[in-house]
């Protein structure tokens, strides 16, 4: 079955009057606001749907959700179709978990252009969860434990502790590079100075405020390791500039979350982050000191790092497939001279 055929089947579940009521928010039966949003979104996007979906699974979801609702919510039978429709849209057309991220705080990882969701609220053997494509949280924790244990074997307990904080803050991948192996590239700094990204001289996070390349090198050499981390995001397509902006804001929030966690356990560590700062609507640079020095994360590029080269050295992905964007950052930690070489 094509996605477009399933979309038409779902659109036909409501008649013209019911769609009008849904649009105006005046349905005669209770409709959850998230389900309303999902249904209205389908009306706007149905024409753009491409590819196939599993028709048999659509039938199974519809039957099971209807049966569940008959048992759990018998007093509003006319409201059931709105729930069924939203479940079908989310699971088979949008390929997302059934509940909104704000209510279950699921974790999303993007690999090879596809999102994989892990839900902390998943009920083992729960009838709704069994239909949802979100994966069990234990699976994510197991993957994180394995990654941390591999890092501990190679680089020791401090690197393992940093990686645990990185992954638990919400980043998808991380990898360690001993500081003596880093390359500080004049040509990257030159790109900053030519203002290719438009951020040069606009905040305390970028050159020239971060100091010369030599100053950045000497600051970095005050640590043993750089642990690179990344988070990838799905976009509508490669021209989805709003999606990129939202992804960057989400990435910066995750960096902030990591910053808070690390300040508790490793106050001497330094975080670097992709691109400029962007925390305040208007930066104080250069007229007054940074408003949030504890949350000022210098730009990776401003330190002369070629970010794709760093990703290769750290063994993590720099790109995650078509219509995705990946942002990276790094933690500097440990005392110089204590580095172990990677194996």
Residues numbered 170 to 189 that lie near ligand SF4 (CB under 6 A) are none
Residue 341 phi/psi, 5-degree rounding, is -80, 145
CB of residue 160 to ligand SF4, shortest distance in Å: 29
- From CA 65, how far away is CA 88, in angstroms rounded? 10
Residue 323 in tokens: 């219509």
Give me the 77-116 binding string for ligand SF4, x by CB under 6 A, dash otherwise.
--------------------xxx----x-x----------
The binder of ligand SF4 chosen from 222, 292, 319, 338 (CB under 6 A) = 292
Closest CB to ligand SF4 among residues 88, 290: 290
Measure Cα distances from 53 to 12, 58, 324 in Å. 18, 8, 22
- From CA 160, how far away is CA 257, in angstroms rounded? 18
The binder of ligand SF4 chosen from 296, 300, 311, 332 (CB under 6 A) = 296
Closest CB to ligand SF4 among residues 261, 279: 279
Tokens 């500080």 sit on residue: 184
The binder of ligand SF4 chosen from 67, 114, 291, 340 (CB under 6 A) = 291
Closest CB to ligand SF4 among residues 106, 223: 106
290 scored as a contact of ligand SF4 (CB under 6 A): yes
- From CA 115, how far away is CA 3, in angstroms rounded? 18
CB of residue 330 to ligand SF4, shortest distance in Å: 18
The binder of ligand SF4 chosen from 13, 46, 116, 128 (CB under 6 A) = 128
Measure Cα distances from 328 to 52, 91, 175, 226, 255 in Å. 33, 30, 11, 12, 10
Residues numbered 191 to 220 that lie near ligand SF4 (CB under 6 A) are 203-205
Closest CB to ligand SF4 among residues 93, 277: 277
The binder of ligand SF4 chosen from 29, 239, 280, 319 (CB under 6 A) = 280
Total of residues contacting ligand SF4 (CB under 6 A) = 25
Q: Would you tell me which residues interact with ligand SF4 (CB under 6 A)?
A: 97-99, 104, 106, 119, 121-122, 128-129, 132, 134, 203-205, 277, 279-280, 283-285, 290-292, 296
């Amino acid at each position: 079955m094509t996605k477009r055929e399933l979309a038409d089947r779902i659109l036909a579940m409501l008649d013209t009057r019911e769609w009008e009521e849904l649009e105006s928010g005046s349905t005669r039966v209770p409709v959850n606001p998230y389900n309303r949003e999902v249904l209205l979104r389908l009306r706007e996007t149905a024409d753009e749907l491409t590819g196939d979906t599993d028709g048999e699974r659509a039938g199974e979801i519809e039957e099971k959700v209807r049966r569940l609702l008959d048992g759990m919510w018998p007093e509003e039978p006319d409201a059931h179709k709105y729930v069924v429709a939203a479940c079908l849209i989310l699971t088979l057309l949008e390929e997302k978990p059934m509940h909104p991220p704000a209510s279950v705080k699921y974790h999303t990882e993007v690999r090879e252009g596809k999102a994989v969701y892990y839900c902390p609220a998943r009920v083992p053997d729960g009838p709704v969860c069994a239909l949802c494509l979100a994966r069990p949280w234990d699976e994510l924790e197991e993957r994180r434990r394995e990654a941390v244990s591999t890092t501990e074997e190679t680089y020791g307990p401090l690197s393992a502790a940093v990686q645990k904080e990185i992954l638990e803050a919400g980043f998808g991948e991380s990898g360690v590079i001993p500081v003596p192996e880093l390359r500080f590239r004049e040509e990257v700094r030159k790109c900053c100075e030519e203002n290719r990204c438009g951020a040069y001289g606009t905040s305390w996070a970028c050159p020239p405020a971060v100091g010369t390349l030599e100053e950045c090198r000497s600051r970095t050499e005050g640590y043993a390791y750089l642990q690179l981390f990344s988070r990838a995001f799905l976009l509508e397509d490669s021209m989805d500039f709003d999606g990129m902006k939202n992804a960057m804001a989400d990435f910066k929030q995750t960096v902030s979350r990591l910053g808070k966690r690390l300040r508790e356990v490793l106050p001497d560590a330094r975080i670097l982050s992709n691109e400029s700062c962007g925390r305040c609507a208007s930066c104080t640079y250069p007229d007054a000191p940074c408003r949030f020095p504890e949350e000022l994360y210098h730009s990776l590029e401003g330190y002369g790092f070629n970010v794709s080269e760093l990703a290769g050295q750290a063994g993590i992905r720099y790109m995650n497939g078509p219509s995705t964007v990946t942002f990276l950052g790094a933690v500097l930690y440990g005392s110089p001279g204590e580095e172990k070489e990677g194996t």
